[in-house]
Amino acid sequence: MARIQFPDGFHWGAATAAYQIEGAVREGGRGESIWDRFSHTPGRIHTGETGDIACDSYHRFPDDIALMREMGFTSYRFSLAWPRIQPNGSGAPNPDGLAYYERLIDGLLAAGIRPFPTLYHWDLPQALEDAGGWPARDTASRFAEYAHHTVRALGDRVSDWMIFNEPGIFTFFGYGIGIHAPGVRNRDAMLAATHTVNLAQGDAFRAMKEEQTDARIGSAFSFQAMEPATDNAADIDAAERMHAWTNEWFLMPTAKGRYPEHAFESGVPDALGIQEGDLDRIRVPLDFVGVNLYSRGLVRAVNNDAWGWGARIDGMGGSEGPQTDFGWEVWPDSLHDLLVRLDADYDDLVFEVTENGCSYADAPDADGRVHDVRRIAFYRGYLAAVHRAIEAGVDVRGYHAWTLLDNFEWAEGTAQRFGLAWTDFTTGERTLKQSGHWFTRVTDQNGFDPEGDGEEA
Ligand code: FCB
């Protein structure tokens, strides 16, 4: 089999999120976020942990940069904590919060790594949740102001930005099923939140471009390649509705100025609260689409489900492929299939893979080595799938592994380890896993031999 060789200039990197790694939640004037409130509420995090310390990257970011240098990464996707920059979600930016990100970004630039920040990876200032949160339309204007202040302050150092991380997940998990902050369970609140987020994305895009005309601005969306669980017509139809709801609910309004009408059995729900002119406000030419993808979705038709989709997914993927510790199916074709489909259905999309990875608990052995061969197999498969999409003509500019180091995995606490580096949560020490060493060779050669080089064993 031919070598897998990526295009020149292809970006290699890892992704993280502020609340999952920074810790230092009371330092530098940072305000409270909905994740502080949620993780401190008994019963919300399965392990009873909080992100108060996490990986302590607020103090240890030079260690993080050293890991990336060792792996030869040229891009670091991280997120900015809104409550560090605006502790209460409005008003003048907090200089200490900005100073932290300046130190981090300067460290990355000095190491030859592209700083690739996301403005919002789920840590809404609690004060804004108290004022109605994402279901309240006004939050879109607050967000655009935050985006404006941030780009004004950091735009001299950052050229490529993401607005949101996974709007589909934080609205559905946060306001629909309540398993993430702020823990609300209300279908109408969830739908209203999705519309505010779409408005916020349009408003923020314009505010950012006004400040920095040559900025490259995208968003990272959660995607799952949808497949009907059987080949009967009802399941095929259900898979299409699930594709529209899951994969296009934020992309289509942004790119085409309309909602995917067939996502819900009865059309676009009134609970969105769409007002005159909203769709023009939402439509903006994103410079790239960030693809977060972990698995496929096997979809079945159901009657009268609470959401109005007429469709259901059982877990993350099926049971044909290997399962990660999270129970997510390893199914590399899903990344290829999703990229190829979006490329066909939309005009001129440019992609960056912004998250893809797996949780396995492999721990240091007696010699201190973390022998995570299943993770190497995972990355081999998914990277080969990205490469096939590129060969088929899809414009993919970079790949970011989720994640740089084991961290606070939301409601799972530190129980799910996705890192290329092992984190000792008692000492804060990081140890590159075998998969991290494997990436060093991949970035060095800008590709790999699909037959294996024997070195990862
Ligand atoms: C994604 C999130 C990321 C991490 C991975 C495992 O949905 O964006 O923060 O939790 O899943």
Q: In this model, does residue 451 exceed pLDDT 90?
A: no
Please indicate, yes or no, if residue 194 is contained in any of the structural domains. yes
Is there an atom of ligand 1 within 6 Å of 355 CB? yes
Cβ pair 283, 212 in contact under 8 A: no
Tens of pLDDT, residues 287-322? 999 999 999 999 999 998 999 999 999 889 999 999
Compute the distance from residue 2 Cα to the ligand 1 centre, in Å. Answer: 33
Q: Please identify, by atom number, the ligand 1 atom nearest to the C-alpha of residue 222.
A: 7
**Torsion on CA atoms 296, 302, 304, 307, rounded to nearest 10:** 0
Determine how many CB atoms are found less than 10 A away from the CB of residue 169: 16
Compute the distance from residue 254 Cα to the ligand 1 centre, in Å. Answer: 22
Rounded CA separation 335/295 (Å):
8
Please indicate, yes or no, if residue 225 is contained in any of the structural domains. yes
Compute the distance from residue 406 Cα to the ligand 1 centre, in Å. Answer: 12
Active-site hit among 22, 355, 409, 456: 355
Residues facing 400 on adjacent strands: 13
Pick the closest to residue 117 from 217, 227, 249 (CA basis).
Answer: 217
Is there an atom of ligand 1 within 6 Å of 410 CB? yes
Compute the distance from residue 1 Cα to the ligand 1 centre, in Å. Answer: 33
Quickly state the pLDDT bin for 1 (edges 50, 70, 90).
Answer: confident
Rounded CA separation 182/171 (Å):
10
Q: What is the mean predicted confidence (pLDDT) over 379-388?
A: 98
Quickly state the pLDDT bin for 88 (edges 50, 70, 90).
Answer: very high
Ligand 1 site-directed mutation target among 20, 118, 324, 355, most atoms within 8 Å of CB: 355
Tens of pLDDT, residues 91-140? 999 999 999 999 999 999 999 999 999 999 999 999 999 999 999 999 99
355 is known as an active-site residue: yes
Is there an atom of ligand 1 within 6 Å of 326 CB? no
pLDDT at 452: 80
Q: In this model, does residue 175 exceed pLDDT 60?
A: yes
Is there an atom of ligand 1 within 6 Å of 406 CB? no
Tens of pLDDT, residues 27-81? 999 999 999 999 999 999 999 999 999 999 999 999 999 999 999 999 999 999 9
Q: What is the mean predicted confidence (pLDDT) over 336-344?
A: 98
Q: In this model, does residue 371 exceed pLDDT 50?
A: yes
The helix/strand/coil state of 222 is strand
pLDDT at 2: 84
Active-site hit among 22, 32, 129, 166: 166
How many structural domains is the chain composed of?
1
Ligand 1 site-directed mutation target among 55, 378, 409, 412, most atoms within 8 Å of CB: 409
Q: In this model, does residue 402 exceed pLDDT 50?
A: yes
Is there an atom of ligand 1 within 6 Å of 402 CB? yes
Rounded to a whole number of angstroms, the CA Rg of the chain reads 21
Output the CA torsion sign for 97, 250, 205, 156. positive
Got the DSSP string for 396-424?
EEEEEEE-SB----GGGTTSS---SEEE-
Please indicate, yes or no, if residue 26 is contained in any of the structural domains. yes
Listed in sequence order, the residues at least 6 apart from 312 whose beta carbon sits closer than 8 Å to its beta carbon are 238, 299, 300, 302, 305
| Arithmetic mean of pLDDT over the chain | 97
- Residues comprising the chain, all counted: 457
Rounded CA separation 56/62 (Å):
11
32 is known as an active-site residue: no
Compute the distance from residue 404 Cα to the ligand 1 centre, in Å. Answer: 12
Quickly state the pLDDT bin for 456 (edges 50, 70, 90).
Answer: low
Quickly state the pLDDT bin for 4 (edges 50, 70, 90).
Answer: very high
Rounded CA separation 403/418 (Å):
6
Is there an atom of ligand 1 within 6 Å of 166 CB? yes
Rounded CA separation 237/199 (Å):
29
Rounded CA separation 122/278 (Å):
23
The helix/strand/coil state of 313 is strand
Q: Please identify, by atom number, the ligand 1 atom nearest to the C-alpha of residue 359.
A: 6
Among 148-152, 312-316, 452-456, which is the least confidently predicted range?
A: 452-456
Please indicate, yes or no, if residue 140 is contained in any of the structural domains. yes
Quickly state the pLDDT bin for 453 (edges 50, 70, 90).
Answer: low
Q: In this model, does residue 457 exceed pLDDT 50?
A: no
Q: Please identify, by atom number, the ligand 1 atom nearest to the C-alpha of residue 326.
A: 6
Ligand 1 site-directed mutation target among 122, 246, 292, most atoms within 8 Å of CB: 292
Tens of pLDDT, residues 243-267? 999 999 999 999 999 999 999 999 9
Which position has the token pair 């300067």?
106
Please indicate, yes or no, if residue 202 is contained in any of the structural domains. yes
Is there an atom of ligand 1 within 6 Å of 291 CB? no
Compute the distance from residue 57 Cα to the ligand 1 centre, in Å. Answer: 17
Q: In this model, does residue 167 exceed pLDDT 70?
A: yes
Is there an atom of ligand 1 within 6 Å of 411 CB? no
Return the beta strands (E) in 316-439 as ranges. 351-355, 396-402, 421-423, 430-432
Rounded CA separation 379/376 (Å):
5
Please indicate, yes or no, if residue 369 is contained in any of the structural domains. yes
pLDDT at 106: 99
Please indicate, yes or no, if residue 456 is contained in any of the structural domains. no
Got the DSSP string for 223-275?
EEEEEESSSSHHHHHHHHHHHHHHHHTTHHHHHHSS--GGGSTTSS-GGG---
Is there an atom of ligand 1 within 6 Å of 328 CB? no
pLDDT at 455: 55
Please indicate, yes or no, if residue 453 is contained in any of the structural domains. no
Nearest CA residue ID for atom 5, ligand 1:
402
Tens of pLDDT, residues 207-240? 999 999 999 999 999 999 999 999 999 999 999 9
Quickly state the pLDDT bin for 454 (edges 50, 70, 90).
Answer: low
Q: Which domain holds residue 88?
A: 4-448
Amino acid at 141: S
CATH code of residue 265: 3.20.20.80
Compute the distance from residue 357 Cα to the ligand 1 centre, in Å. Answer: 9
Is there an atom of ligand 1 within 6 Å of 169 CB? yes
pLDDT at 426: 98
Compute the distance from residue 121 Cα to the ligand 1 centre, in Å. Answer: 9
Determine how many CB atoms are found less than 10 A away from the CB of residue 93: 18
Compute the distance from residue 223 Cα to the ligand 1 centre, in Å. Answer: 12
Rounded CA separation 449/457 (Å):
14
Cβ pair 410, 38 in contact under 8 A: no
